[in-house]
Amino acid sequence: MSPHHTLVLLARSGYAARGVLYLIIGIFALLAARDSSRPKDSHSSLEALFSQPFGHFLVGLVVAGLLAFAAWRVLQATRDVDHHGTELKGLVIRGGLLAGGLVNGALAFFALGLLIDGLRSSGGGGGQTQDLLATLLSWKYSNLVVYLVALVPLGVGIAHFFKGWKASFEKYFEADEDVMRYVTPVSRFGLIARGVAFVEISVLLAISGSSYQAMHPPGLKDALNALQNLPAGGVVLMVMALGLIAFSVYSFAEAAWRRINMDVPGMSHA
């Protein structure tokens, strides 16, 4: 298999792995809306996947997919295969892609820990990171750091709003009109729902300020729990759950039909 085809396979398997994760998170959120469980984040969802029959094999596939997705995001950012350019807007987008690569890489290593250490995955390597966070957040003005960090999910959430509202993702798809007739509305709903989740994470970070806990930073699970605690929270959470499932469908659609640009200097297309 040529390097070009290998990278295309890498990218598509990465999108599929992201789809699997968000499908599991969405299903748990849907169950929580019906009082069957509490919402789960990506880490909890991986643990739930691990506990299923053939869990080791399934998590192994997700690890491979997440590593592939992380590598693809880094390639998108550093080699600009989607031609975002070097102007401010393009650099911001590429910076977001790089951050996404790092996050998915970290999630892949968490899942790898499940394979190595079973459900005791969090016991080994998190201490140094937590100590570093604790040291950083013990600084007199650490709340300012938290506010700056909160801008990251805020920016990601706003970007998802615009991407979903304008359906700008369509230009990257290679599918006929009959397929896009279904893919586009589902993808728009999924992107906007994920945008809501990221903006809420940003708000939770900003509200916490200097009381931010290094051991338990707010994430998707906290955002879903906060929605559940609102008036008519069950209905709101159910809509959000359906949105996250829609985002998983968007991810699967990207795995199947996204145009994977590989016009990278020195890359053979044979």
**pLDDT digit string (tens) for 245-265?**
999 999 999 999 998 875 554
Mean pLDDT (whole number) for 12-21:
89
Average per-residue pLDDT for the chain:
76
The winner for highest mean pLDDT among 83-87, 203-207, 223-227, 254-258 is: 254-258
- With 0.95 as the threshold, say if the pTM is over it: no
Q: Which residue has the higher pLDDT, 1 or 123?
A: 1
Q: Which residue has the higher pLDDT, 29 or 263?
A: 29
Q: For the chain, give every domain's residue range.
A: 3-121+135-257
Q: Which residue has the higher pLDDT, 168 or 202?
A: 168
Structure tokens at 153: 């999910």
DSSP classification of residue 139: S
pLDDT at residue number 1: 60
Number of CB atoms found within 10 A of residue 240's CB: 25
DSSP classification of residue 86: S
Q: Is the pLDDT of residue 195 over 50?
A: yes
pLDDT at residue number 236: 83
Residue that is written with structure tokens 């040529």 in the block:
2
User: Helix axis angle, 55-79 relative to 88-117, nearest 10°?
Assistant: 160
Mean pLDDT (whole number) for 113-142:
51
Q: Is the pLDDT of residue 26 over 80?
A: yes
Which amino acid, one-letter code, is at 98?
L
pLDDT single digits (tens) 56-114: 677 777 778 888 888 888 888 888 888 888 888 888 888 888 888 887 787 777 767 76
CA distances (Å), origin 231, targets 32, 34, 239: 15, 15, 14
pLDDT band at 192 (very low <50, low <70, confident <90, very high): very high
DSSP classification of residue 270: -
CA distances (Å), origin 252, targets 28, 151, 185: 19, 28, 14
Q: Is the pLDDT of residue 157 over 50?
A: yes
Which amino acid, one-letter code, is at 165?
W
